[in-house]
Amino acid sequence: MTDAFAVQGIPIADLAERFGTPLYIYDADVLADSYTELRRRLHPAVDIFYSAKANPNVSVCSVMRSLGAGLEVSSMAELATARWAGAAPDDVIFLGPGKSEGELRACLEGGIAAVVCESLEELAALDRLSGPGTRALLRVNPAFTTKGARLSMGGKPRQFGIDHELLLESASSLRALRNVRVTGIHAYMGTRILDEDGVVQNTAGILAAARELSATLGFPLETVDIGGGLGIAYFENEKDLDLDRLTEGVNAVVGEFAAEHPGCRVIMELGRYLAGRCGTYVVRARYVKQSKGEWFVVTDGGMNHHMAAVGVGSFVKRNFPIRSIDRSGELADRRYTITGPLCTPDDVLGRKVALPEVRPGDLIGVERSGAYGPTSSPVLFLSHGYPAEVLVSGGTAHLVRHRDTVEDLLGRQILVDRPSPAVQPVDQPAAHPVAQPVAQ
């Protein structure tokens, strides 16, 4: 367990010392519990797939796979990650609205469980590329809107999936397929759902759509992906899902469906719910200063690694859970705004956070940061690069991703020399020898 200052008994301060900051620490026990707590309650017809997008680190994916989760991937590198993590082809699905021909070919060569097609055009392209027997799921943009999602992805004009209404009129497109077999449907309604009844209603709606489409268009229901999008509580007024209540409702509708369609694989795909709680983003305070009566802690990491905590684009800035990692005791009588090192006023991890008195060198942790951390942040902004990632598993800390170095960042670039005839280039030695790009 992660206590205030340690992960599985290892002091976070020691990890910060050993691996440097800023640092992401993932607790494999918390990761595993998120899966098993859901797994043991969920109807056995439902297979849980982990959405690699949330945290694509291969060791995180490997923990998920070792517990029995399938992997849902959306790019060439994520597909390769699934293979590297040891996922069997039949436990991998590939989705995304803009798959390339190369990605489709890789899916075919890999023999994965299904390509989730997001347009009739893509379905036709897959058919042209594939040999007989290729399985595809149709991603449906349902005719109903989601209840409870913070970011809705269905029921409105969207680039995702095929409108339910359009699909009902697409029998001829499906009949024209020569190689691809449509074996079911997929729907994903949105993310960060914290309303149990909303999930149950979505599931019922998706299963009803699956029945209707399969009956109208005459394809079998071998697989139905009911999406997921389960949330975790981040903010003060939010509460984690009640798993008993959630699974009771979902199991009832899935149970009814499974009785009608024995052998149909029902997939629930989850990213944030599985990975979110296991991670802590650890930064070190560099300067503690005042500006016009407000206290600022300037740390070594911020939105470049943790865009989600910064919440750019949100109407109101709300704080992720933030705490001191090496200082206990009473809260200071002042509040601190925690910022990062970037030259933008957006770089604020937390506003007016209550903490024990902060001194330079202190460690501060942003909790519940295992999902949509660096992977969905502008890690190249101001050229700081990707932070280090550590997975604590079986009481041992493993570095699972190296921190980007200056060489990593510059080595991808190419200098085009363009000497001006008027101004001779000044012969200057590099100011920082370390900044020389490595030879490719």
Ligand X SMILES: *Cc1c(COP(=O)(O)O)cnc(C)c1O
Residue 353: CB partners within 8 Å, gap ≥ 6? 319, 322, 335, 336, 337, 338
- SS3 at position 248: helix
| Token couple for 77 | 């590198």
**Are 399 and 426 spatial neighbours (Cβ–Cβ below 8 Å)?**
no
| Token couple for 253 | 């509708």
Q: Which of 107, 117, 278, 343 is catalytic?
A: 343
Identify which of residues 45 and 54 has a Cβ nearer to ligand X in the complex. 54
- Residues 206 and 33: their CA atoms lie apart, in Å, by 27
Identify which of residues 23 and 54 has a Cβ nearer to ligand X in the complex. 54
Identify which of residues 27 and 269 has a Cβ nearer to ligand X in the complex. 269
Alpha-carbon distance values, 47 to 52, 269, 299, 360 (Å): 15, 8, 41, 47
Chain residue whose CB lies nearest ligand X: 271
* Long-range CB contacts (within 8 A, 24+) of 396-399: 397/7, 397/10, 397/15, 397/18, 397/19, 397/25, 398/59, 399/19
- Least separation in angstroms between residue 96's CB and ligand X is 8
Q: Which candidate, 128, 2, 39, places its Cα nearest to that of 391?
A: 2
Q: Interface with ligand X by CB under 6 A: which residues?
A: 51, 53-54, 95, 188, 191, 227-229, 269-273, 371
- Least separation in angstroms between residue 17's CB and ligand X is 32
Identify which of residues 362 and 367 has a Cβ nearer to ligand X in the complex. 367
| Token couple for 429 | 């030695």
* Alpha-carbon 277 to chain mean position: 12
Q: Determine whether 343 is an active site residue.
A: yes
CB atoms within 10 A of CB 5: 18
Count of positions (residues) in the chain: 440
- Residues 4 and 389: their CA atoms lie apart, in Å, by 19
Identify which of residues 271 and 340 has a Cβ nearer to ligand X in the complex. 271
- Least separation in angstroms between residue 140's CB and ligand X is 12
Q: Which candidate, 333, 337, 332, 293, places its Cα nearest to that of 317?
A: 337
- Least separation in angstroms between residue 434's CB and ligand X is 38
Identify which of residues 10 and 87 has a Cβ nearer to ligand X in the complex. 87
- Least separation in angstroms between residue 122's CB and ligand X is 14
- Residues 267 and 227: their CA atoms lie apart, in Å, by 7
- Least separation in angstroms between residue 159's CB and ligand X is 11
- Least separation in angstroms between residue 141's CB and ligand X is 11
Identify which of residues 308 and 353 has a Cβ nearer to ligand X in the complex. 308
Give me the active site residues, please.
Answer: 343
